[in-house]
Amino acid sequence: MPGVSASHTGWTFITNHARVAAIADDPNVRIRDIAAHCQLSERSVQRIISDVEQDGYLSHTRGGRTKTYRIRADKLLRHPAEAGLSVAALLSLLVQDEYDRSRKPIPR
């Protein structure tokens, strides 16, 4: 995962639940790394993962000390304003944005 810029205060367009979709980039990513990337506590990331697992958007398998996550990209987003929009559609936006940011310098 690319580096993260300085901390931010105030509201943002993307929720913490959507940020944790960084799992899509690496199904074997550690909670510690997700937390650092998303600028969240490890406990917050664990709660978010639990939320999305409980509703069937994410599952995991354990292999020794590591977990491998699987996102259900075919599931539809929960809010009525996004009716019919799949997790895959959201991830494609987030992944493309991440790809673009890693290739372009940050404007000053």
pLDDT computed for residue 103 by the predictor: 55
* Full-model pTM: 0.76
pLDDT at 18 over 80: yes
**More confident position, 42 or 83:** 42
Q: What is the CATH number of domain 16-103?
A: 1.10.10.10
pLDDT digits (tens, 9 = 90+) for 19-78: 888 788 889 999 999 999 889 999 999 999 999 999 999 999 999 989 999 999 999 999
The stretches of the chain forming alpha helices (DSSP H) are: 16-19, 31-38, 42-54, 87-103
Higher-scoring residue by pLDDT: 3, 55: 55
The alpha carbon torsion through 78, 79, 80, 86 (nearest 10 deg) reads -50
